[in-house]
Every structure is written in C-alpha cells, then in structure tokens.
Amino acid sequence: MSESTIVDKSTAGRDARQYHIGIAPGEVGTVALMPGDPFRVPFVAEFLTEVREVAHNREHRTMTGMYKGRLITATSTGMGCPSTAIAVEELARVGVTSFIRVGSSAGLQPGVAPGDLLVSEGSLRNDGTTAAYVHPGYPAVPDLAITSELERVARELSEVTGRSVHAGLSASDDAFYAEGPEWISQLSEMGILNVEMEASAMYVVARLRGLRAGMICACSSNLVAGESLYDEGNARLKDGWMASIEVALDAAVNLEL
Ligand SMILES: O=P(O)(O)O[C@H]1O[C@H](CO)[C@@H](O)[C@H]1O
Ligand SMILES: O=c1cc[nH]c(=O)[nH]1
C-alpha cells in the first residue's frame, strides 16, 4: 500500500459538511452547549429566540438561536466518550471554539442531592477514547475561566432559587452498568464529587485542539446515599437541567464565548 493512499483524518473533510453531525462551516456560532440527549437540545432552545434546527444525524441534533445578543449553538453528544469526541472534533471544524456540557450526573458524596448543580473542576479518565488520543497521565481539565464563571453564575442564581451548587472533581466512565459498588465507593473515597460519561473526552480533545470546555450537570441520583430521580420520571430532573442550561448560557454570554 502506497503511503499516499492512506487517509489522514486530521485533515480529510475539514472544510466540508461534517460526516456525523451533518453541519457545514458557517452554520453555527462559536459556543456550543452540549447535552447528552438529542431530546434535550430543544430545552436549550426554550431560552433562545430566532431558533433554527440545523441538523439531526444519528445522536447529534443541533439547534441555533440568540440569547442576550449572542448566537448560541446546542448539539447533543450522545452517550459516552466516543460520540462526544466525534462531536467536538467536527464542531471545531465548522467554527465552534468553546464547549459547555450540560448533562446529568450521579453524586458520589454525602450531601449531594438529586436536583443540585455540579460544576466539574477536572475529570478522572476512566474511558477508552482519551486513551486512544494521548498518554494516560495527561489530565482531563476544563478551561479554568469557563469553570469559574459557571460556578459564580450558579451560586448567584442559587441565592434566588435555593438550589445547592457543588464544585469538584468528576469521573468519566465508559460503562454505566459496570459501575459496581466497589468502584462507586473507591471514587467516593477519592473525594470525587460525581460521575458521568462524557467530560473526559470533551476536556482532552478540547485541550489537544486548542479549544475551551467546561461542564455543569444536574445531579440525577446519589449513588452512595441510594437516592435517585430515575424512578420519578423526568419532571424534577428537568428543573435541574433547565437550571444548568441557564447558568451555561449566562456564563457563555458573560465570557463572550
Ligand atoms: O444526561 P446525560 O447528559 O446523557 O449524562 C449522563 O446520562 C447518561 C447515562 O444515563 C450518560 O450520558 C451520562 O453521562
Ligand atoms: O455514569 C453515570 C451517569 C449518571 N448516572 C450514573 O449512575 N452513572
């Protein structure tokens, strides 16, 4: 095989409509809010004006609209690091430079209650995707300015709403149903605040590509206290998601992302 026939994915298709997210350069803004679930992209749109659905291919649904004078994009990552890395790589190729994950995540410390807001200051890389990108010791850290602003805005809002806010380290797992009691208690003993499945890929890919990322989640359950909102349907969780989206939007506008 001649070397010249081997595709270089780092450059191939860079300026075209992107294969997975279905977006072409110029169709989105510079900041993307990223829920996991495509059905939560319209929750972001509830805060926006001039809403447009740009694309919906596989798990990646994208809408744009205006918030306080700024063009905002919302794209779903799907579940897990593989599809998150793809979404970040492809959104970067069409012009996005900042990414804020607005997801749900399980609490791992006492006193973290379902519905609380969780701001991530870094994530433990228990995933296979980032291992394919970079040395295992490379840290998965969000952009510090985005992180501080998410926490500041969340705490400001909590003075009005009473919703509790926690900031700390998160963990990103690959396998939801392999999160056994032993692993959960190990994470908790390490002082990890919460666990989810996408942040490590978002942070690592963003750092490697010179982009910025952050995460604010709504707590969906507490795995050490045995509390969960899963059985109650999505009503109370939706309140938390909406609060996290509002914080992310204001942080994006304040930082002019
Ligand atoms: O609610 P989202 O943002 O999808 O996040 C969490 O929910 C899914 C697991 O139920 C994983 O994607 C996890 O990270
Ligand atoms: O990884 C995750 C994310 C949310 N909830 C869990 O129990 N685990």
CATH assignment at residue 229: 3.40.50.1580
- What is the token pair recorded at 145? 């300015």
Domain membership of residue 4 (yes or no) is: no
pTM: 0.96
Domain membership of residue 152 (yes or no) is: yes
Domain membership of residue 1 (yes or no) is: no
Residue 229: predicted pLDDT: 67
Residues with CB under 6 A from ligand 1: 35-37, 79, 103-104, 176, 196-198
Q: How many domains does the chain have?
A: 1
Residue 231: predicted pLDDT: 59
SS3 label, residue 233:
coil
Residues in a beta bridge with 71: 66
Domain membership of residue 12 (yes or no) is: no
CA distance 140 to 204: 5
Residue 228: predicted pLDDT: 74
Q: Which atom of ligand 1 is nearest to the CA of 37?
A: 4
SS3 label, residue 194:
strand
Out of 41, 197, 231, give the residue to mutate to test ligand 1, the one with the largest number of ligand atoms within 8 Å of its CB.
197
Using the 8-state DSSP alphabet, how is residue 227 labeled?
A: E
Distance 95 CA to ligand 2 centre (A): 31
Q: Is the Cβ–Cβ distance between 43 and 36 less than 8 Å?
A: no
Q: In degrees rounded to 5, what are phi and psi of residue 27?
A: -90, -10
- Closest residue CA from atom 1 of ligand 2: 196
Out of 183, 196, 223, 228, give the residue to mutate to test ligand 2, the one with the largest number of ligand atoms within 8 Å of its CB.
196
Mean pLDDT by 10 residues, the chain (257 residues): 80 92 97 98 98 98 98 98 98 98 97 96 98 98 98 97 97 97 98 98 98 98 84 76 98 98
- Closest residue CA from atom 7 of ligand 2: 106
Closest CA to 80 of 168, 193, 197: 197
Distance 46 CA to ligand 2 centre (A): 26
Domain membership of residue 162 (yes or no) is: yes
Residue 165: predicted pLDDT: 98
Residue 86: predicted pLDDT: 98
Residue 1: predicted pLDDT: 58
Domain membership of residue 194 (yes or no) is: yes
Residue 230: predicted pLDDT: 64
The range of the structural domain enclosing residue 69 comes to 18-254
Out of 173, 192, 227, give the residue to mutate to test ligand 2, the one with the largest number of ligand atoms within 8 Å of its CB.
173
- What is the token pair recorded at 159? 């003075």
Which ligand is closest to the CA of 221, given by its number? 2
